Amino acid sequence: MPLIEFSDKGLYCRQGNFYIDPWKPVDKAIITHAHSDHARWGSKYYLCHHLTKPLLQLRLGDNLYESVDWNEPVFMNGVKVSLHPAGHIIGSAQIRVEYEGEVWVASGDYKTEDDGISGAFEPVQCNTFITESTFGLPIYKWKKQPDIFEDIKNWVAQNKENKKTSVLIAYSLGKAQRVLMPLSEMGLPVYVHGAVWNVHQALVNSGWKLPEVKRVQPDTPKEDLVGNIVIAPPSADGTPWMKNFYPYSVGTCSGWMQVRGNARRRNTDAGFALSDHADWDGLLQAVKATGAQKVYATHGFQSAFSRFLNEQGIEAGEVKTEYGGEEEESKTVGENEELIIKN
Amino acid sequence: MKQFAKLVNILGTSTKTNDKLQALQDYFEVASDQDKVWVIAIFSGRRPKRIINSTILAGWCLEIAAIEPWLFDECYHTVGDLGETIALLLPEQETQNETGNEHTLSYYLQTFIRIEKEAEQVKKDFITSSWQQMDRNEKFVFNKLITGGFRIGVSQTMMVNALAKTVKVSSSIIAHRISGNWDPATTSFDDLLSETVAATDFSKPYPFYLAYAVDEDLDKLGEEDQWQAEWKWDGIRGQIIKRNKDFFVWSRGEELMTEKFPEYNHFKDQLPDGTVIDGEIISLAAPADESVFKPLPFAALQTRIGRKTITKKQLTEAPVGFIAYDLLEFEGEDIRYKSMEERRQLLERVIAKTNYPALHISPVISFNTWAELGVTRTKSRDMGSEGIMIKRKSSPYQSGRKRGDWWKWKIDPLTIDAVMIYAQKGHGRRSNLYTDYTFAVKDGDKLVPFTKAYSGLTDKEFAQVDSFVKRNSIEKFGPVRTVKPELVFEIAFEGIAASNRHKSGVALRFPRMSRWRTDKKADEINTLEDLKEMLKIYNQQGVVEATDL
């Protein structure tokens, strides 16, 4: 029996009787990170990293949470479980599972470039590696973060010159905090959508020092926004809420912006291929660093990525999971954002 | 090249027409004259010949990026554009070429022409070393220049408008000056836009006047007697030009088609010098009697276009005629400013003097009330026409698509309910989204594919179908997914013809999805029998009485 099984509720460790990022309610859930497609409602017990706990509380309300530090082992029926930085967003973890000398690692979502806020990805040696593959094609090779930040700053400056508001579309947890860093260097006021505001407050309350932002209120005068910046989640793109800021220019921060067709479909004015997922080289580098004899690729281009690994002599299979929300153009993301605003 | 790449990038991503226009103007302000000429050429469909085919080009990319062909294909189907796929797969240079030794757009295009006939290795050396000097954006534009199909959301009209603003000449004049036969490699910017050159280029066609679809109550057009009605013929809109004893045939796409229609050679002798006629290039059944003509379905004409050499068999089976709509030049004078009524009289005189059975004047439909015309319109399909044209008698011949004086009133399309059986990812803004579908009708308990369709759904509907395809694919054949035959669509089309190239035995004209029949189940769709019945009905067209002159 494999140490981790792929069940219809999620990744399941029978020996330890726990699930990793289950998409249905279970007794014990270990959560890699607080994005809605990985952290779902309804389980009786959640284990996560200290940094993730306040975010889960924000998104899932009161539940039984237990949190641990990096590499702090927890034993569940003889199975040793520990969390290791995944570099995806604040608090994001890879889950290492060890039993009788066999080690499996479930990556959750990860990126290998250190963005300065999400923790540096830590390669973990294992026998079996379950990896995401959101951007598992060689067309996805990211520019370095400082270069993309430079592009974003130039775009904002250009908009300011044209007396337009820069509306940056960024996922409220992760991307929004990440783009805030370069933007705050520009000395312009940064306004945020309610969903971004809520995450921002939760992080500030748990001790994060983040640049100051202002929440867009119904009575925020339009003149205050001209030439300045608004950060909004994908669900706000194209809504009447956003149209109030006219004249504006929309910039979308997402790995999918690497391909022009996607940017055109979104009707965005500027696409920035800024992703919280590993690019092709990052995925390969991560897989190789684990030294794993067996790799399972999930959510993304799993079929192409696993075929490529097999051709490289790394035994790989593909697994269907129900992850892959926040960088997809999926409806569930939007619905979640709406919920947060109402709360 | 950086400048041009930046322009293409803005044009490709901008969502507002004004921004695109501004970007073009900005470009025309700063670009060198030689580059401007090339940009005009590119955006008016005058690119240099393709110097290498896509497969070889992709092969060089595979070699440099060191990836397997299957992985390239996966990438291509996700990106939906070959030039862009290659640009994304090629390694980015660590140190970019300094602007000092950057090459111009003209340099690249002229090199394409220079090495067109050279050995493959010469082309490979040029292209791969060019790649090394470019950033991703430039590579994309460069690849698009090589692979063709430079469709990036800029119409010729938009380019003309931007140019008009830059050089401060009206856009209809610009449109005329840049039309016709000119070679960007040997034409200077000043020559291109100067009047004298336009006057000596005898091949130059006038910009076509295009109609909008009637979108309101016909009563709002006013008095019926101010208007002339004609059939709307389903061929290729064209212009025939006889000047300086020379003869030219242009299509609306500004393609010179003189050689394709040997039937027209007779016009060359019979038309007086200084004549330009606007009309329809169309297949007509060989007339038994000169006073009538019988249009053949568009499919007949299709067997003729795109062929380099035309066989005797094609000439007999699909003879091509010309139905004249309008006269633009008479005795060497541009008469587009005259009223249509006056032009029509002159046109009738010209045609009457021309003794050639395949040249007809477009008959005028007499009517007293709009309602009466509406009844006539229902007979369009029997006449082999696709509806009715309504033109204001006092209208001048304008250039481009303009509202107000000319209207097209097309017949409702034919429709059939079908089930989707295959899906493939789209291109451009539909990349990585299943938007290209194949449809089937029932034949007993089998499903027979009969058409593809790509358009007619909203973005939201496409997203829903895409998600259905992803969840319900049965098999994968390269980029094609077989899907559970469950989704029913109403397919609208303009015509149907017999075809031995299709399993179903029919080929449709302009098929598209007119409605998603969420109310229908797969077993309620139409049958192959229904399609064959339509084929029978709509291919027994009547003959048209040529106007008595």
Using a CB-CB cut-off of 8 Å, the residues of chain A touching B75 are 137-139
B/e letters for B24-43, b = 16+ CB within 10 Å, e = fewer, are bebbbeebeebbbbbbbbbb
How far is the C-alpha of B302 from the C-alpha of B311, rounded, in Å? 14
Query: Is residue B141 located within the same domain as residue B13?
Result: yes
Q: Count CB atoms within 10 A of the CB of residue B148.
A: 15
Q: How many domains does chain B have?
A: 3
For residue B498, the model assigns a pLDDT of: 83
Q: Does the beta-carbon distance from A259 to B74 stay under 8 Å? A: no
How far is the C-alpha of B169 from the C-alpha of B161, rounded, in Å? 10
Residue A6 has pLDDT above 60, yes or no: yes
The answer to whether residues B309 and B239 touch, using CB atoms and an 8 Å cutoff, is no
Residue in B with minimal Cα distance to A262: B429
Q: Which of B84, B89, B459 sits opposite A260 (nearest CB)?
A: B84
Domain boundary among B99, B115, B147: B147
For residue B266, the model assigns a pLDDT of: 80
Residue in B with minimal Cα distance to A143: B92
Residue boundaries of the structural domains of chain A: 5-139+276-342, 145-272
Rg value, chain B, Cα: 26
Give the confidence band of B357 by pLDDT, cuts at 50, 70, 90. confident
Residue in B with minimal Cα distance to A271: B13
The answer to whether residues B260 and B283 touch, using CB atoms and an 8 Å cutoff, is no
Q: Does the beta-carbon distance from A261 to B89 stay under 8 Å? A: no
Domain boundary among B94, B117, B147: B147
CB-based contacts of B176, cutoff 8 Å, min separation 6? B198, B204, B206, B207, B399
CATH H-level superfamily of A5-139+276-342: Ribonuclease Z/Hydroxyacylglutathione hydrolase-like (3.60.15.10)
Query: Is residue B441 located within the same domain as residue B347?
Result: no
Residue from B426, B424, B456, B455 nearest B437 by CA: B424
Residues of A near B (Cβ–Cβ under 8 Å) read: 137-141, 258-265, 267-271, 301, 304, 307-308, 311, 329
For residue A339, the model assigns a pLDDT of: 33
The answer to whether residues A231 and A199 touch, using CB atoms and an 8 Å cutoff, is no
Assign B32 to helix, strand or coil.
coil
Give the confidence band of B191 by pLDDT, cuts at 50, 70, 90. confident
Render pLDDT for A156-184 as a digit per residue (tens, 0 to 9): 999 999 899 999 999 999 999 999 989 99
Q: Is B223 inside a domain boundary?
A: yes
Residue in B with minimal Cα distance to A259: B79
Look at the pTM and tell me if it is higher than 0.80.
Answer: no
Average pLDDT of the residues in B223-231: 94
Q: Does the beta-carbon distance from B13 to A138 stay under 8 Å? A: no
Predicted ipTM of the assembly: 0.90
How far is the C-alpha of B409 from the C-alpha of B373, rounded, in Å? 10
CATH classification code of A145-272 = 3.40.50.10890
Render pLDDT for B11-52 as a digit per residue (tens, 0 to 9): 887 777 888 899 999 999 999 999 999 999 988 878 788 889
**Residue written as token pair 């705050």:** A184
Domain boundary among B93, B123, B147: B147
Q: Count CB atoms within 10 A of the CB of residue B152.
A: 20
CB-based contacts of B250, cutoff 8 Å, min separation 6? B180, B205, B238, B239, B240, B241, B256, B257
Query: Is residue B479 located within the same domain as residue B393?
Result: no
Give the ranges where B44-184 is alpha helix by DSSP (H).
54-65, 69-79, 82-89, 105-115, 120-132, 136-147, 156-167, 171-177
Render pLDDT for A79-132 as a digit per residue (tens, 0 to 9): 999 999 999 999 999 999 999 999 999 999 999 999 999 999 999 999 999 999
